[in-house]
Amino acid sequence: MVAQFLRLKLRLLANILRRSPMQIVGVILGLLYGIGLTIVVVTVLFALRIVDVELARSIVVTLGSVVVLGYLLVPLAFGVDDTLDPRKFALFGIPSARLANGLALAALIGVPSIAITIISFAQIVTWSRGVLPVFLAIVSAVVIAATCVLGARVTTALAALLLASRRARESTGLIALLTVVSLSPLVAVLASVDWGTDGEIVLARLADVLGWTPLGAAWASPADAAAGDVGAAFLKALIGLAFAGILWLAWRVLVAIMLVSPEREAQVRREPGLGWFGKMPASPAGAIAARSLTYWFRDSRYRISLVMIPIVPGLMIVPLYTAGVFWQDLALIPVPVMCLFLTWSIHNDVAYDNSAIWLHLASNTSGWADRFGRAVPALMLGVPLVIVGSPICAAIYGDWRVLPSLIGVGLCILLSGIGLSSIMSARFPYPAVRPGDGPFMQPQSSGTVAALAQSLSFFAIILISLPSVALGALGLLFGIGWHIASLIVGSTIGVIMFFLGLGLGSRIFERRGPELLAFTLQN
């Protein structure tokens, strides 16, 4: 039975080479990446053999814990195409225990499983500093490989059971993305550590904590034996064995459940009424605005951008505060930065329509209606953001005289960004994630065109807003008059660029309508 599962897994892997040439290239690149990363890690583990025990322990336990965590969380967060889903064997009458055994052993065949197996056995060389450390390193190698493979199987099974609908998978992926992004300030804090003098102490403290968790216990057991702490070494070996045993029991239970549980189907939710179409004016611009608002609040591709907009200022504030910037000065950052990323997020809006753009051409929709309708969501979110957020930031800053500058800079960035994005999305579209695809998928595209369009639109918004920003900076030095000038200049530039951008964008859209349709159909 086990041999049959192994042959099946090998046949499935061989069938990958029968796909399209581009898919084969992607598979080969992924394989080469996995091989290269494995070689680098194994080389590091070999090199740690001649390093001081405490330093080697800190490095191995910390990085090993991160690796185990990755094997546990990645399948649950983003889902995995499980070619050997236990439910596919429900009609074969195989006992759940035998099926669990066979699928677990078949899971050892694959690039991630082979990589972690090689890495786990490579750490035997690191701890070849005595009979007991070598013995525990061998035990730990088996435990680490089993923990990672079984952990990936368990979380893959949980993802298959819990994330039946595309909306559920997207929501979980979004949560995972937010978690990763939220940890970015921690990376900034770690980057501020003087690793030349304090780095070894910080790593040692992390290793001390992680070594007593299921994530790092198996990695820490031979390290403690090499350091002479035999009692802790055996206790951590038991923790690692217990965790692997729990994962094994969880896998067997999940296989038994999945054999008698049909695959869940996504529930179709029907909304009463016409939604935004019933709230917007009955005009071409109103219909396009309603469709854009529906996209923004229901399409995962837009929701990712909406969620990231308030997070970006935090990612900037933490490193700046760590670098010594006064915390009150940081209150001036959130509103302009959120306005910048809000307007920049629509610079490729036409490409997100995909083939739906034909509706605009077939109905002979004017370019102005298209451009203005797409700008409505950014206006509905951005104007309240500036009006409400600016007083809050001024209060945190502690000087109400900066309020005119905050409003002026915010409006300048918001309106100018919408105007520029109206031009860019019609003149320089580039391939985007297709409707219905996951928000983390990236289409094959010309990286040069995409990078050029993104950079040009981003820095053009900043450049146009510089006069208002400069006047606001002068206001911080010389008084309220400069703040009022920043408000007047910023508002004026913003309004001019808004209408100028919509006007030019509408002309470009009307002139390039057939080309835009051909572009979206090809991408």
**Model confidence at 446: pLDDT above 50:** no
Six token digits for residue 346: 């629509």
> What does the pLDDT read at residue 498?
94
**Model confidence at 246: pLDDT above 90:** yes
Domain boundary among 259, 291, 310: 259
Shared domain for 290 and 195, answered yes or no, is no
Task: Give pTM, 2 decimals.
Answer: 0.60
Shared domain for 405 and 301, answered yes or no, is yes
Q: Is residue 22 part of a domain?
A: yes
Give the whole-angstrom CA distance, residue 195 versus residue 229: 26
Task: At 473, give phi and psi (nearest 5°).
Answer: -65, -40
**Model confidence at 204: pLDDT above 70:** yes
Higher pLDDT, 268 or 421: 421
Task: At 501, give phi and psi (nearest 5°).
Answer: -65, -45
Q: Is residue 60 part of a domain?
A: yes
Q: Is residue 265 part of a domain?
A: no
Shared domain for 19 and 141, answered yes or no, is yes
The gap between the terminal CA atoms of the chain, to the nearest Å, is 45
**Model confidence at 27: pLDDT above 70:** no
283 neighbors 369 (Cβ within 8 angstroms): yes
What is the extent of the structural domain holding 101?
A: 2-259
Give the whole-angstrom CA distance, residue 211 versus residue 54: 13
Tell me the pLDDT band of 447, cut-offs 50, 70 and 90. Answer: very low
Give the HSE-up count for residue 177: Cα atoms under 13 Å, Cβ half-sphere.
Answer: 19
Give the whole-angstrom CA distance, residue 260 versus residue 247: 20
Domain boundary among 227, 259, 291: 259
3-state DSSP of 71-106: HHHHHHHHCCCCCCCHHHHHHHCCCHHHHHHHHHHH
Shared domain for 8 and 101, answered yes or no, is yes
Q: Is residue 266 part of a domain?
A: no
User: Which of 71-80, 217-226, 332-341, 405-414 is least confident?
Assistant: 71-80
| pLDDT, tens digit (0-9, with 9 covering 90-100), for 387-436 | 999 999 999 888 888 999 999 999 999 999 999 999 988 888 877 777 66
251 neighbors 156 (Cβ within 8 angstroms): no
457 neighbors 341 (Cβ within 8 angstroms): no
> What does the pLDDT read at residue 272?
64
**Model confidence at 178: pLDDT above 80:** no
Give me the amino acid identity at 138.
Answer: I
> What does the pLDDT read at residue 166?
56
Shared domain for 296 and 383, answered yes or no, is yes
Shared domain for 280 and 237, answered yes or no, is no
Mean pLDDT for all residues in the chain: 80
Q: Is residue 311 part of a domain?
A: yes
């029907």: which residue's tokens?
Answer: 270
Long-range contacts of the stretch 383-388 (C-beta < 8 A, 24+): 383/414, 385/335, 385/338, 385/339, 385/342, 385/410, 385/414, 386/335, 386/339, 386/410, 386/411, 386/414
> What does the pLDDT read at residue 409?
94
Shared domain for 412 and 489, answered yes or no, is yes
CA–CA distances in Å: residue 156 to residues 78, 161, 380, 474, 485: 9, 9, 40, 56, 58
Q: Is residue 73 part of a domain?
A: yes
Give the whole-angstrom CA distance, residue 488 versus residue 43: 61
Shared domain for 26 and 163, answered yes or no, is yes
Shared domain for 240 and 293, answered yes or no, is no
**Model confidence at 254: pLDDT above 70:** yes
Mean pLDDT of the 150-178 span:
67
Task: At 20, give phi and psi (nearest 5°).
Answer: -70, 160
DSSP state of 325: -
Give the whole-angstrom CA distance, residue 50 versus residue 38: 20
Shared domain for 63 and 26, answered yes or no, is yes
Q: Is residue 426 part of a domain?
A: yes
Shared domain for 380 and 492, answered yes or no, is yes
313 neighbors 385 (Cβ within 8 angstroms): no
Domain boundary among 219, 235, 259: 259
Q: Is residue 268 part of a domain?
A: no
Number of domains in the chain: 2
Shared domain for 313 and 345, answered yes or no, is yes
């992607």: which residue's tokens?
Answer: 26
Task: At 234, give phi and psi (nearest 5°).
Answer: -70, -35
Six token digits for residue 507: 């002309």
